[in-house]
Amino acid sequence: MKKTLIAICSLLILAMTMAKPSLANEIKRWKFEKTGLVFWKADTKEKLIALTFDDGPDPLYTTQILNMMKKYDAKGTFFVIGKEAERFPEILKRQTKEGHEIANHTYRHTFRDMKNPDVLKAELRKNSDLIKRITGKAPTLFRPIAGYYDRQIIETSLGSGYYVVLWTWHQDTRDWKKPGAKRIAKTVLFNSKPGDIVILHDAGGDRSQTVKAVEYILEGLYKKGYKCVTVSELLSHSSSVVPVLLLNP
């Protein structure tokens, strides 16, 4: 059923773009949101938010973030790089055991790999096989490197059985710029709305500011009555999500 639905939706995307052979990011975002296959947020009034973390795992920063999430009984989604997961499999095992979601962020995290559909497919497959071998479960969500997408990347992702998850536009923390923990947290807390997907980074450099910001964010969100959940759980509460999303591949 899932393969059939993905094929139909892939044809829908292709039909939307045939009239003008342009990149997907030149097409209005709302067209992709209507397909229910690319997500920036969830359509819900419940006070639910998804914190997502890219580029891990990292033995220092990911572990500290997990400790903080456990303290607040929060769940997150970690878009992991395969070569890092291979180095630190125990972190993925812990993430899974504590109820977090593991998602695909390619194996090598090399931007040029996304430009070749065959290479991207291989990257997704290699990372998925690795994640399944470590955690016992294959990922269903994919985030393109740096959030870049075009028609080819979307179609390749769908054809590989993934839903593409980006982040809510007003929840781009830009924590990689190291603006300070309080500023990172302020971006999330000041703009927080039900259904938001927040992007943070748990690896790829000095993420000590992000770790501290996560503490502020969790404390602030819970004071505002929010619950931090995985992306898949968040989307399960959305009125516009394709139901098959919740099925395992």
Q: Which of 43, 54, 109, 129 is catalytic?
A: 54
**How many angstroms separate the CA atoms of 192 and 182, rounded?**
15
By C-alpha distance, which of 54, 51, 55, 85 is closest to 69? 51
| SS3 state of residue 99 | coil
Q: Which of 100, 105, 109, 201 is catalytic?
A: 201
Specify the pairing of strand 101-104 against strand 76-80.
parallel
**How many angstroms separate the CA atoms of 242 and 99, rounded?**
23
**Four-residue CA torsion sign, 171, 127, 64, 236:** positive
In angstroms, what CA-CA distances link 144 with 74, 112, 214, 218? 24, 11, 23, 26
CA 210 to chain CA mean position, Å: 17
Question: How many helices (H) and strands (E) would you count in the chain?
Answer: 10, 8
Catalytic residue list contains 54: yes
Q: How would DSSP label each residue in 139-196? A: --EE--GGG---HHHHHHHHHTT-EEE---GGGB--GGG---HHHHHHHHHHH--TTB
Catalytic residue list contains 109: no
Looking at residue 40, the DSSP 8-state letter turns out to be S
Q: Which two tokens stand for residue 166?
A: 């980006």
Q: Which residues are catalytic?
A: 54, 201
